[in-house]
């Protein structure tokens, strides 16, 4: 290990003195890092094999004689840094010398030869993002679906797939970024698919800023469902989405697949309003009756159903109506579904409204892991960036659901995990045959880190199989 030289006066930091002492700072700390979390996400990745799947999906066209950083190392470095809160590719220029990130990627810290030590620079990461092709992106997207499938030891009885679009505002001349009147911004409109009960990311597809057609959504979802069906042929799958997914192409595609149903929001029209009028009148009468109560409720709700077929639909579908009246007036809502068994109130309140949780997962991916940093000069490079951030989300979701179970952070958001568990100072000391990590003596999460590292890095004894 090379020790740093003396710090010049110009590099010293000055602070206000305290009684009896002056305070000065310097940069002679040596092998220090503020990102212990890089080791935690690398432990998650080691268990699930995410970055290995992504790297295997990319055809590396570089000349072998000029390769310093393997494709797997590049994907690990970029995904781990995003997962630790460093969303900019330029962050690699300083973090490439961070000893904890070097250990996380699998390098010796303070290495002397070109295969160890410093990680890739921001320019190398940028070349990676611009070098991938459309076929590479397709294979990476398949790898993410395969990663989701690999999360189940046995086929599940049921899956819920929540699909939604997310605004990705852009502020340059990015290709295929268009003005979207609904969001009132120039943006991309990526499609996200999550598993509705666990929050696992199934797919992330970068799209242009224009509103997606039913045929486009059906094409993307069909490929995802077919890949899942190869492994889970008998699993009951429910697809949920808001009103702009209730298109004839999407409903017909799902209806043609066995063991697959849908439940979508539905916009009203004159025909639907006429069919819903009797129940709405009953709700208005009930609202008038409750005004005589001592404690007036905030609203009254009645649920009903009827069959409806738009002119473009192949057949009538079941429409569930929520007739709600409140102080501000009437608030009718409708959903369309292929499910026959659930009662109207169960279909709306428990099945459909549950999809609102997907908006929180989109916030985790977009706001806390900065998936909207799509500022590259090509659409393919921006797509690659979205998939890199998707990989960081998967690492966080697996850490939360598998490693942090029954802990204080079992339901924590990525930003909370980064603040409390990742941003911990580490002193790294390298010897001939070992590396020692010194964490702060006053670390407030000593017990939790002990649990996490035991679950990640210590082999667990096999569980006893009891005879029936």
**pLDDT attached to residue 297:** 84
- When divided into structural domains, the chain yields a total of 2
How confident is residue 291, by pLDDT bands cut at 50, 70 and 90?
confident
How confident is residue 111, by pLDDT bands cut at 50, 70 and 90?
low
| Alpha helices (runs of H) in 155-299, residue ranges in sequence order | 214-231, 248-255, 270-290
Average pLDDT taken over every residue of the chain? 91
Average of per-residue pLDDT across 148-165 = 95
Q: Is residue 9 part of a domain?
A: no
Phi, psi of 388 (to 5 degrees): -65, -45
Residues 115 and 240 in one domain: no
Residues 158 and 52 in one domain: no
List Cβ neighbours of 47 (8 Å cut-off, separation of 6 or more).
398, 402, 456
- Give one word for 427, left, alpha or beta, with left for phi > 0 and alpha for psi -120 to 50: beta
Residues 98 and 221 in one domain: no
Residues 216 and 361 in one domain: yes
Residues 157 and 214 in one domain: yes
Residues 40 and 111 in one domain: yes
Q: Is residue 332 part of a domain?
A: yes
Q: Is residue 123 part of a domain?
A: yes
Average of per-residue pLDDT across 223-244 = 96
Which residues constitute the domain of residue 406?
32-132+399-422
Residues 405 and 387 in one domain: no
CA atoms within 13 A on the CB side of 17: 4
Query: Is the predicted pLDDT of residue 468 greater than 50, yes or no?
Result: no
**pLDDT attached to residue 296:** 76
Q: pLDDT tens for residues 338-355?
A: 999 899 999 999 999 999
Q: pLDDT tens for residues 179-209?
A: 999 999 999 999 999 999 999 999 999 999 9
Residues 90 and 233 in one domain: no
Q: Is residue 441 part of a domain?
A: no
Residues 152 and 300 in one domain: yes
Q: Find the length of the chain.
A: 468
Q: Which one, of 12, 423, 382, lies nearest residue 176 by Cα?
A: 382
Residues 45 and 167 in one domain: no
**pLDDT attached to residue 20:** 87
Extract the runs of DSSP E, i.e. beta strands, from 51-184: 158-165, 168-169, 178-180
Q: Is residue 315 part of a domain?
A: yes
**pLDDT attached to residue 10:** 56
Least confident of 282-286, 287-291, 374-378, 388-392: 287-291
Residues 123 and 230 in one domain: no
Q: Is residue 438 part of a domain?
A: no
CA–CA separation, 383 and 367 (whole Å): 17
Last residue of a domain, one of 341, 373, 392: 392
Distances in Å between the Cα of 211 and the Cα atoms of 26, 56, 134, 380, 446 are 54, 33, 22, 19, 49
Which DSSP letter does residue 189 get?
A: -
Query: Is the predicted pLDDT of residue 461 greater than 70, yes or no?
Result: no
Query: Is the predicted pLDDT of residue 467 greater than 60, yes or no?
Result: no
How confident is residue 334, by pLDDT bands cut at 50, 70 and 90?
very high
Q: How many CB atoms lie within 10 A of CB 433?
A: 5
Q: pLDDT tens for residues 253-264?
A: 999 999 999 999
Q: Is residue 256 part of a domain?
A: yes
The answer to whether 395 touches 44, Cβ cutoff 8 Å, is yes
Residues 287 and 406 in one domain: no
Q: Is residue 427 part of a domain?
A: no
Pairing of strands 236-241, 260-265: parallel
């Amino acid at each position: 290990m090379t020790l740093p030289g003396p710090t010049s006066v110009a590099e010293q930091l000055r602070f206000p003195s305290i009684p009896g002492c002056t305070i000065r700072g310097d940069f002679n700390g040596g092998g220090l890092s503020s990102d212990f979390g890089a080791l935690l996400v690398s432990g998650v990745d080691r268990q699930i094999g995410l970055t290995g799947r992504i790297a295997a999906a990319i055809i590396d066209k570089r000349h072998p004689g000029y390769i310093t950083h393997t494709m797997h190392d590049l994907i690990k470095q970029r995904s781990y840094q995003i997962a630790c809160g460093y969303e900019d590719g330029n962050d690699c220029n300083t973090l490439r010398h961070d000893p904890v990130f070097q250990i996380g990627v699998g390098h010796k810290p303070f290495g002397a030869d070109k295969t160890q030590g410093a990680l890739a620079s921001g320019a190398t990461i940028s070349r990676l993002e611009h070098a991938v092709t459309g076929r590479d992106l397709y294979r990476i997207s398949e790898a993410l679906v395969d990663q989701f499938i690999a999360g189940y030891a046995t086929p599940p009885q049921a899956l819920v797939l929540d699909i939604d679009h997310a605004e990705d505002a852009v502020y340059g001349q990015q290709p295929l970024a268009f003005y979207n009147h609904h969001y009132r911004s120039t943006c991309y409109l990526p499609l996200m698919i999550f598993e509705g009960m666990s929050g696992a990311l199934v797919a992330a597809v970068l799209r242009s800023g224009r509103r997606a057609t039913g045929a486009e959504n059906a094409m993307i979802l069909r490929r995802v469902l077919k890949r899942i069906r190869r492994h889970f042929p008998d699993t009951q799958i429910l697809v949920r989405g808001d009103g702009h997914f209730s298109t004839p192409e999407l409903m017909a595609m799902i209806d043609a697949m066995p063991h697959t149903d849908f439940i979508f929001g539905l916009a009203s029209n004159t025909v639907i309003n006429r069919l819903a009028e009797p129940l709405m009148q009953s709700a208005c009468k009930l609202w008038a009756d409750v005004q005589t109560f001592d404690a007036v409720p905030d609203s009254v709700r009645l649920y009903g159903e009827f069959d409806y077929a738009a002119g473009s639909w192949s057949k009538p579908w079941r429409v569930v109506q929520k007739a709600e009246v409140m102080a501000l007036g009437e608030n009718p809502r409708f959903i369309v579904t292929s499910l026959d068994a659930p009662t109207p109130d169960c279909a709306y309140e428990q099945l459909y409204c549950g999809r609102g949780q997907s908006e929180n997962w989109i916030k985790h991916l977009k706001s806390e892991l900065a998936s909207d940093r799509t500022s590259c000069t090509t659409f393919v490079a921006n797509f690659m960036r979205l998939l890199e951030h998707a990989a960081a989300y998967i690492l966080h979701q697996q850490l939360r659901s598998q490693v942090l179970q029954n802990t204080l952070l079992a339901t924590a958001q990525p930003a909370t995990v980064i603040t409390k568990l990742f941003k911990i100072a580490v002193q790294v000391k390298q010897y001939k045959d070992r590396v020692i990590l010194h964490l702060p003596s006053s670390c407030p999460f000593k017990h939790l880190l002990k649990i996490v590292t035991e679950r990640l890095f210590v082999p667990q004894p096999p569980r006893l199989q009891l005879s029936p």
